[in-house]
Structure 1
Amino acid sequence: MLTAPSHAPHPIRARKLVNHRSRRLLRAEQGSIAWIGAGFAFALIAPAMVVSPMDMQASAPAAITAASLTLVGVCAALTAGWIAFQRSQVYGWLISTWLPAFGLVAGAAVLAATKMY
């Protein structure tokens, strides 16, 4: 025999679970995502136009130019992420921009150093 009344719901089933449905992104959020994506795309594609990733060596000015273009794209993405954070106060904007930015800057430094020497 159970000690609880038979009409009592099971404790786990009694909890009201939140149904996380996706919502449409606001126009400002879509713009922020577009600017962040464009900044990171520029940071990846523009340096490859200056120095081919397949080249074993490159001149110092070309490698520095490629690294500088990476920094320009990363700064654009970080600025867009910061503006989105200021507007919404959601730290996800900072996380989604700073983590890839560190990886891109570190990759640009490594590639510039290996292409020059």
Structure 2
Amino acid sequence: MAEYLVLIYQDERQERTNLNDPEMMRDHQGFQTNNQAALRGGNALEHSHAATSVRPDGAGGFTVTDGPFAETKEQIGGYYLLEAADLDEALTLAKQVPMAEGGVEVRPIHVFG
């Protein structure tokens, strides 16, 4: 079995991305219940305005700035860590993640060691 990270992208300006939206929360609870055997973790993230980015400054130090690493229309709003036999199974699970807008990205986890 392999692990995959499912990154949930969304337009933060859309109403259904709001953590206070009861329908969206119910949809995610249903996804979690239906796929609990494969889920290893997951959480929602605060909006991107709460992000802080850290980048090397090229002189041995760091630049710390408010906001996300990249400014885009869609931000990462949450994630699920799941276990699947292969990418096809991970994609089958990812297609079930509730999303009113945006989409998801599936990435294999590289295990060191």
Per the TM superposition, whether the score is higher than 0.5 is no
Please say which structure displays the higher CA radius of gyration: 1
Output the TM-score relative to the length of structure 1: 0.28
| Structure 1 or 2: more strand by fraction | 2
The structure showing larger relative contact order (alpha-carbon pairs under 8 Å, at least 6 residues apart) is 2
